[in-house]
Structure 1
């Protein structure tokens, strides 16, 4: 009795959800007969095709041949729910499945939305901010893609489609099961999985997703610094042309190096007030951002746990007060933390490139690291070794 009662509730719930889908604009998807598909099915799956055809014919024969009902009652029995169910199952077998994502696509980018913030007022984990960046990236890609060519949903053994001309945005689309959408122009699939409390997971799949990701992340900057961590845009108080002439000349050299090299590390040093931090912000805004670099500004705590996202092609990392982080490992202070080793691994690319995830987007990244310090004397000698730091400049004039 308990099982029957539960099944009844489940059936009522399914009917309500189907009704909600229809009310919100979804329509049953009619599967069309494809003679070429049917011919291939009959040739390549002959035994199964014959068995299912025989079973369907037996079902109709049983209904039409009942002796305890009149002929017209048997005829009405053909339209019964059970008979229609068997006919629909056979029709779904002999017709092609609706288009669905090709999971052989290697480039995959996924996000949960909205991102939940399980943090206190005193600390924001790096993972939250990086997940927020990924969420922004996926949602921006969807804005660029615009209206898809097809939107489908499979629920309770039925296929539904949403008329694309009625599509407004993804937030207003009713999702009770897995939703698939496709853009033929870009050969990109979107898969939406519903979670509890209105949360969803969006997954983009394509053969070449990188160009859209680059476009979606244009002008983005990330500051990782405890509770002040945020995703936003680069702000620069002073244009490059307002800096002293020798700094502008060094900036020209830097710009050429950025264009010529895939990986570049720069150290600028000088007394406080000589404009080192302001210069890094100006370079980020006027040179790196127009070239498509996503800017990451890391504080002391963020350095230790930061790993560059693999789906970004161009990354700039700004590290201020590097002489307080990458200190000489011969000193007692440096031995009490691992920030020096982590900065070295960022410069070398060894930490995050030693093991590559098989899923997701694996870009051949271009990396620019801008570091400021008051003096290079406290830096670990390995930092300044040739091949790690490409350009060094001293700021001598009072600027700020």
Structure 2
């Protein structure tokens, strides 16, 4: 999804049309709705009991079928002059003189965009000569995500969200204004209803669907991250928090990410952490978000794998995680022929963490740091990253590390660029 959001952001900034194709791969592996049987070829002598037939294509249903299909599609695209991305193998780029074409593949669904409509039509015709394809026109619905044109492009999962509410019988519920209570940890400790759920699969199914919904709803990422920690042994208390999250979604099921058209495509990132958030393991929470221009393209909320002795160390770890994401995004953007202005600004609201990155003399406080955490200093010294201090009130990544009050949550949603096309 990160690559898709980057590509769509670039497309909307350049005014390109985004097209969608659906490839029917049934002709390679038979009818997908029926069992496939291999018949003996003409000339085969049944008396040769010690000989076997060599199958030159993979039958549908076998483990090798999807790999064979992907290899076939990749070979065709390479023959058409595309280059496969090294950072994301589902992305293909074709450049010749002033023509620039981007192509994204997900199994047999294809999104194609570029600066030349004539070349796009030629590629469609060439693909049609190789496969049975269906031209779905301008991109509107892809993998359950609605793509709506407003001032830019709005990515929403409204239908998916409404179906989820209907599945759990909450279509007519009373909505709430925040996805999770700010003191949910204390609530969990004092909760009397701590009995295990009789059917764990219901909770696991709900959280799994919420994880997919978080592809266009960064405002629920922290809540989903918290709920997913208890997939193996959830209690009624956890299930109540999950149902509360559904009540939050009921208030604005059509909300999604707005990819704006801007004057620049510079990267900037916000990193934050919540020290010792987990009351059981005392591990902290990492949260970061990355913007391409004014558009949000990447975000993350995750429990840290190491216990840290201070909030500065936890914040430092979050900055390192954001730096790794920035490095990967810059590699993708270079393949998309986008030059990123360096250094990339990394915003942090912890003064002590910024001091550690800039001053390598703090040996007593940093000598126990792991080796992988020290590479942030190297990136700063080489001019790749620039740390910038901001106030906690202006920290956009604050919503990825903790539950917020309603006013603070609404402010973070506004900064993330969340937009509800269906509210007007």
TM-score after normalising by structure 1: 0.26
Which structure's CA Rg is the greater one?
A: 1
